[in-house]
Amino acid sequence: MKLSLSRLTFALAAVAASFLTLGASQVSAHSPNKAEDAATSAVELVPRGEKTALLLVFHGSPAPSWSKFTGKMVDRVRALNEKIPLFAVVEGAQMEFSKAPNDIASAYKRIEEAGCDAVVAVPVFVYPTSHVQFDVASILGIYASAEMRAALAEEGIQVVRSKIPTVATPTLSSGDLLKNFVVAEARSISKEPKNERLLVIAHGDEGYAGLVDSLNEDALKAAAELGFDRVDAAFCGIGQTFAENVKPIVEANDRDGKKTLIVAIYVASSAESFVARLQKGENGAKNSLEGLNYKCSKGALGDFGETAPWIFELGREASLF
């Protein structure tokens, strides 16, 4: 989004980070199944509605390839719903860089036309940071402030106006998904762990640094058990701080005679595609890893075999209360 909305959400993030760290640590320590088991022991769960819709909310991008990629993710979840019909409809929508029919408000119109009486929204974001807590929640109409209304209006983003009850799920960082993904990607490119150092890169969020670190902890610990000489993590946004945060680690590993294996935790980008894009861009020379001993994994989180089932499970658990 434009600078005005980014500045606002960053400021709000600083206020909310400590609260979210506690909540996310409680959620991420358990799978939805375990959380449901605990809840069931105290109260009998019932469906939220007779016709519940599942809505996958993505960040959005002006690139056509993004819409194609996320469309495939929605199709995978729809296929699961066809096998186990829990939801009346499964929709996908973009938070920004999108107009009708791909924006969130348009998705709600389709959900209303389908006669649904409840909506489960899954934020298909890696971490529960400012975009999820403030931007997505404000667009869905489950968070409200004069500041966010003004910022969204300035961006031309339509807020949902619906009487259908909506509940939002955790992000993809809940449960074991990130851990399983990182381990699988690391294994796919590792040959001699004792002579390799794993580097896990992700977008991160400056206002939620402690939270994101805590959510990556299990993944890094599990990867370390593969026998690597060392495991590191670095945040670089969509590449803005790659030269400052990522490249020096690869250079240091190279000086120590170790190969760097890079795994990227992004919904639609693999480490291979992410690093290749940065080295071809306007700052290509600055970001270049030419001559260094490294290898990138080829899988994106959105394509990981466990991701669509996990999204479906998050929706299933949230469809009960």
How confident is residue 41, by pLDDT bands cut at 50, 70 and 90? Answer: low
Residue 6 confidence (pLDDT) above 70? no
| pLDDT at position 9 | 54
CATH number of the domain bearing residue 243? 3.40.50.1400
Regarding whether 210 and 97 lie in a shared domain, the answer is no
Same domain? For 162 and 26 the reply is yes
Q: What does each C-alpha distance from 226 to 126, 184, 196 come to in angstroms?
A: 23, 11, 11
One domain, residues 133 and 190: no
Find all residues with CB under 8 Å of 134, minimum gap 6, and list them: 8, 9, 12, 13, 143, 148
Q: How confident is the model at residue 209 (pLDDT cuts 50, 70, 90)?
A: confident
pLDDT classification of 125: cutoffs 50, 70, 90:
very high
pLDDT of residue 206: 83
User: Looking at residue 2, what is its pLDDT?
Assistant: 41
- pLDDT level of residue 15 (50, 70, 90 thresholds): very low
Q: Are residues 39 and 151 in the same domain?
A: yes
Phi/psi-derived region of residue 227, left when phi > 0, alpha when psi is between -120 and 50, beta in every other case: left
Inter-CA distances, 244 with 101, 213, 251, 262, Å: 39, 18, 11, 16
Beta-strand relationship, 166-168 and 259-265: unpaired
294 has pLDDT over 60: yes
**If pLDDT is split at 50, 70 and 90, which confidence band does 14 have?**
very low
Residue ranges in the chain assigned as alpha helix (H): 3-28, 32-42, 64-83, 104-113, 130, 137-140, 146-155, 177-189, 209-224, 242-245, 247-255, 271-280, 284-287, 307-318
More confident residue, 230 or 4: 230
For residue 117, which of 144, 139, 138, 87 has the smallest C-alpha distance?
87
Q: Are residues 257 and 146 in the same domain?
A: no
Q: What is the pLDDT of residue 226?
A: 98
Q: How large is the average pLDDT for residues 111-137?
A: 97
Q: Could you give the CA distance from residue 30 to residue 174 in angstroms, rounded to a whole number? A: 8
| DSSP state at residue 61 | -
pLDDT at 34 exceeding the cut of 70: no
Whether residue 144 is found in the same domain as residue 219: no
pLDDT, tens only, 153-189: 999 999 999 999 999 999 999 999 999 999 999 999 9
Q: Is the pLDDT of residue 233 over 50?
A: yes
Nearest CA among 60, 55, 78, 12 for reference residue 168: 55
Reported as a single tens digit per residue, the pLDDT across 235-264 is 999 999 999 999 999 999 999 999 999 999
Give 216's contacts (C-beta < 8 A, 6+ positions apart): 178, 200, 202, 233, 265
- Asked if the model's pLDDT at residue 21 lies above 50, the reply is no
The pLDDT score that the predictor gives to residue 44 is 86
Q: Report residue 142: phi and psi, to 5°.
A: -105, 5
Do 145 and 226 sit in the same domain of this protein? no
Q: Which amino acid is at 140?
A: L
Do both 281 and 199 map to the same domain?
Answer: yes
Domain shared by 157 and 248, yes or no: no
7 and 31 assigned to the same domain: yes
- 13 and 90 co-located in one domain: yes
Q: Which two tokens mark 95?
A: 């938070």
- Which one is predicted more confidently, 115 or 19? 115
The answer to whether residues 132 and 26 belong to one domain is yes
pLDDT at residue number 36: 53
Q: Which domain holds residue 146?
A: 3-172+305-318
From the list 186, 288, 281, the residue with the least C-alpha distance to 247 is: 288
Alpha carbons 200 and 293: distance in angstroms, whole number: 16
Q: Structural domain tally of the chain?
A: 2
Indicate the pTM of the whole model: 0.88
pLDDT of 17 reads 45
Quote the percentage of the chain above a pLDDT of 70: 87
Q: Dig out the tokens for 84 from the structure.
A: 């186990």
Mean pLDDT over the full length of the chain: 90
- The pLDDT-based confidence of 207 (bands split at 50, 70, 90) is confident
